[in-house]
Amino acid sequence: MAQGSDDIQALIALMARLPGLGPRSARRIVLQLVRKRSQHMTQLAQLLDRVAINSRECTICGNITDRDECAICTDPARATGEICVVQDVADLWALERGQAFKGRYHVLGGTLSALDEIGPDELGIPALIARIHGENISEVILALNATVDGQTTAHYIADALVDSDISVTGLAQGVPIGGELDYLDDGTISAALRARRRL
Ligand code: ZN
């Protein structure tokens, strides 16, 4: 096993555990990084260090940011009265790539799941409802995955807002069943958002 040093071996093993990579991809990436270390490696190491130290969740919406409150929550132009509820930060990023939504977000961090004993409190749904009432929100868009748990969560939130004047909508049909937003192309996400329907 004379493949580089022990540290290089450890780096390959770590890289191979990342999503989308396996041992072969990890070896190729590490070899390329070592060969081009003056170009990429130092910068990569510095960025990893900074991101590791500074990354945190936005205290308002749950987006990943390097401040207490993210750039979307602090942008006055995004106070449109619309709030889009997503399951994961990856979904928020997918919607931002589509550039079709101009309001603000709320990241649940999961879905209700009887099997995994994840209830409304674990997902912070009471805090979400309080946020919706506190921010003068006129429309809540539930951009949750088309899985059973995703739809159960959507209906739970819609029920909690049923006695208010707030319009509750969901993404249009066309989002594949069980599909996650992050896997859709930007045009499909934008189209699903534009053609949203009342729940
Ligand atoms: Zn935020």
Q: How much is the pLDDT for 184? A: 75
pLDDT at 128: 96
CA of 136 from ligand 1 middle (Å) equals: 16
Q: What is the pLDDT of residue 2?
A: 62
Distance, CA 22 to ligand 1 centroid (Å)?
Answer: 33
- Domain residue limits, the chain: 6-54, 78-167
In the three-class reduction of DSSP (H, G, I as helix; E, B as strand; rest coil), residue 125 is classed as: helix
Q: Residue 196 Cα, ligand 1 centroid: separation in angstroms?
A: 23
Distance from Cα 6 to the centre of ligand 1, integer Å = 41
Kindly report the pTM of this predicted structure. Answer: 0.85
Taking the chain (199 residues) in runs of 10, the rounded mean pLDDT of each run is: 83 93 94 90 93 96 96 96 93 87 94 92 94 94 87 94 93 61 76 82
**CA–CA gap between residue 25 and residue 149 (Å, rounded):** 34
Query: How far, in Å, from the CA of 103 to the mean position of ligand 1?
Result: 11
CATH match for 78-167 among 3.40.1360.10, 3.40.50.12280, 3.40.50.300, 3.30.420.270: 3.40.1360.10
Tell me, in angstroms, the distance from the centre of ligand 1 to residue 81's CA.
Answer: 15
Q: At what angle do helices 6-15 and 23-35 cross, to 10 degrees?
A: 130
User: pLDDT value at position 198?
Assistant: 85
Let me know if 83 is exposed, middle or buried by CB neighbors in 10 A (0-12, 13-18, 19+): buried
Pairing of strands 167-170, 139-143: parallel
Phi, psi at residue 167, to the nearest 5°?
A: -80, 130
Ligand 1: distance of its center to the CA of 73 in Å? Answer: 4
CATH code: domain 6-54 is 1.10.8.420
108 near 153, Cβ under 8 Å? yes
